[in-house]
Structure 1
Amino acid sequence: MTSSRTDGSRPLGIGEPASDEDLRVLRSQLGRPARGVLGIAARCVCGRPTVVVTAPRLPDGTPFPTFYYLTHPAATAAMSALEATQVMPELAALLEDPAVSSQYTAAHEQYLADRESVDVVPEIAGFSAGGMPSRVKCLHALAAHALAAGHGVNPIGDMALERSTWSPTRCQCVVDDAD
Structure 2
Amino acid sequence: MSTPPYPPVTDAELDVLREQLGRPARGVVGIAARCVCGNPTVVATLPRLDDGSPFPTFYYLTHPAATAAMSTLEADHVMREFTDELAEDDLERDAYVRAHEAYLHDRAQYGEPEEIAGVSAGGMPTRVKCLHALAGHALAAGPGVNPIGDRALERSTWSPEQCVCVSPGAAA
Normalised-by-shorter TM-score class: over 0.9
Please state if 1:48 is matched with 2:31: no
Please state if 1:63 is matched with 2:54: yes
Aligned-partner Cα distance in 2 for 1:11–1:143: 14
- Corresponding residue number in structure 1 for 2:115: 123
How far did 1:87 drift? 1.1
> Partner of 2:49: helix, strand, or coil?
coil
Residue of structure 1 aligned with 2:72, choices 39, 62, 81: 81
8 Å CA contact 1:14–1:53 kept in 2: the answer is no
Structure 1 stretches (4+) deviating beyond 3 angstroms?
none
How far did 1:101 drift? 0.3
Letter in 1 for 2:33: A
How many residue pairs end up in the alignment? 168
Aligned-partner Cα distance in 1 for 2:150–2:55: 23
8 Å CA contact 2:96–2:146 kept in 1: the answer is yes
- Corresponding residue number in structure 2 for 1:97: 89
The higher-RCO structure (CA 8 Å, 6+ apart) is 2
- Among all aligned residue pairs of Structure 1 and Structure 2, give the percentage whose two residues are the same amino acid: 67
8 Å CA contact 1:14–1:41 kept in 2: the answer is no
Letter in 2 for 1:150: G
Q: Cα RMSD between the aligned structures?
A: 1.4
Aligned-partner Cα distance in 2 for 1:169–1:31: 24
Aligned-partner Cα distance in 2 for 1:41–1:140: 14
Residue of structure 1 aligned with 2:164, choices 128, 150, 172: 172
How far did 1:176 drift? 5.8
Residue of structure 2 aligned with 1:153, choices 140, 145, 159: 145
Letter in 1 for 2:38: G
Q: More displaced, 17-26 or 145-154?
A: 17-26
Letter in 2 for 1:31: G
TM-score normalised over the length of structure 1: 0.90
Letter in 1 for 2:18: R
TM-score normalised over the length of structure 2: 0.94
Please state if 1:29 is matched with 2:20: yes
Aligned-partner Cα distance in 1 for 2:96–2:68: 24
